[in-house]
Chain A
């Protein structure tokens, strides 16, 4: 077996080429231990965890929509959104428990409350939100206890935004460069994506003339999702010494995120221009739902890729710490 180069294995040539112009970037040289990652890649599984990020967003966004539709008198839409919230949060809880190394001990999540752990905060949020969203859905569909059902609808409308956005802190509060460095933008990406998905579900399931709040939410959410994602990439590209936007723009995550952006833009256009067409409205809704899911999968996989390659960890830290000491000893 040929021994691998001890310290040279991690060197890379950083000359980038773009269509039309050749932009020369100085060679990014860095040293690593046999090219091995510095941090451990998350053990979270696909589709459990990215699926959870999406479903939590869909649930929280749907509760927002249900509360709005209840207020504006869109009864049918409110019922659909409540069912969507309950369905999504139930599936997401299954995905979460399934991802644990010791599923039988999942209740240990509620053993302590730790604001320093977004997962602890999220577990308590889920424990509060789940039953409330469930009560809202059951009352909405059966007509039982209408006053309690209304209170649950507004309660879920208040807790839902937390469910939809805390997951941004969850993934950013790690040493994974592709997530951590984007911690200022990620909550807005997740909020936009959640609103877009919930609006999309409403457009898909309810006739357009009964779905005005869903369309409004979809348009707002998709716009925020598109803008916030762009801002996230700008932030990541500006990390000193090494663009951490790279894993978001290349490979499988890059492809997933490009399709997601296309679907979001298409769904947005359809929601704005589709008017009273049932077909256009439904297709737009489906596009937004798919785009929201793909956004979460893409962001998840981009973070994993940024954890696997040591350059995303080492180069920015080396810049921060200053240049190497004199090469001569």
Chain B
């Protein structure tokens, strides 16, 4: 499958594919990305309450939460001499992955979800009829339907800002450059160097997540440097776009449907005795 999703979608002469590299090793959990996203995109408030999940009261991505900072408190890895109770923070700003093979886009029956010239995936509000198919199709639980308007919403990678040559609001607001925006090729090179540095410094579990075009989603337009396994952060360890199996599904549907059609003919064979 082509690794250039914009070209695959019919954008000829398109700008380079852009995305996010989120380096969680320098995230300080300030949530500036969450606020900047809400402000710029005029995303409505969706509940203010305490979750009991460390400093994470946002809880997860949703129709009205397009950036979400996860907070994990865990025992510090040894050695921590004389400090048996030492703990450490893991913080990570999660976002739509803008998959190379995007299940939400594949299954959308109206064409409301589309691939932009930047290779990102965006919902058109005036087309979405709220069928909800994209919601369980996403292997990351990103896209959701908003109660108030009955439509699906998610991160647009600030499509409006990209068109003006500006970087997305979250990356702009990030004070530590944990969220880096740019052409995907450059980001992948930079991320590779960073993870090698961290490993050399003894961070054995440091790993890149969704950086590989050979993975189950063809690589993410947004990818991450994590300090522990993906599931610790609430991310699926080995996501595969559901439509990879669609040919097999249609084949079995075809056989089952053919069986029913043959049954109709067979039922007609025995003429009625009358």
Seen from chain A, the residues whose Cβ lies within 8 Å of a Cβ on chain B are 1-4, 6-7, 30-34, 36-44, 60-61, 64-65, 67-74, 99-103, 105-106, 108-109, 111-112, 114-120, 123, 157-158, 160-162, 164-166, 168-169, 172-176, 180, 183-188, 190-191, 194-195, 212-213, 216-217, 220, 307, 310, 313-314, 317-318, 320-321, 324-326, 328-329
Contacts and interface: CB of A to CB of B under 8 A. Distances in A.
A68 B249 contact: no
Interface in B240-274: 242-243, 245-246, 248-250, 252-253, 255-261, 263-272, 274
A108 B112 contact: yes
B132 interface: yes
A74 to B, nearest CB: 6
B239 interface: yes
A111 B129 CA distance: 11
Given A33-B232, A169-B250, A328-B77, A73 B272 contact: yes
B183 interface: no
Interface size class of B (residues with CB under 8 A): 35 or more
Nearest to A60: B260
B72 A33 contact: yes
A37 to B, nearest CB: 7
B129 A173 contact: no
B82 interface: no
A109 B103 CA distance: 18
B207 A325 contact: yes
B103 A175 contact: yes
Interface stretch (B3-11, B47-55, B157-165, B171-179): B47-55
B59 A36 contact: yes
Contacts of A173: 107, 137, 242-243, 245-246, 249
Interface of B: 50, 52-54, 59-60, 70, 72-74, 77-78, 103, 106-112, 127-133, 135-145, 149-152, 202-205, 207, 229, 231-239, 242-243, 245-246, 248-250, 252-253, 255-261, 263-272, 274
Contact of B141 (A38, A43, A191, A324): A38
Contacts of B258: 161
B1 to A, nearest CB: 13
The 6 lowest CB-CB distance pairs between A and B, nearest first, are A101-B130, A71-B268, A101-B150, A68-B267, A33-B234, A329-B77
Contacts of A328: 77-78, 204
Nearest to A213: B267
A33 B233 contact: yes
B55 to A, nearest CB: 10
A324 B228 CA distance: 9
19 contacts: A6-B53, A33-B72, A39-B138, A40-B136, A41-B136, A64-B264, A71-B264, A102-B149, A102-B150, A111-B127, A117-B107, A119-B131, A120-B110, A172-B249, A173-B107, A174-B136, A183-B249, A185-B252, A326-B205
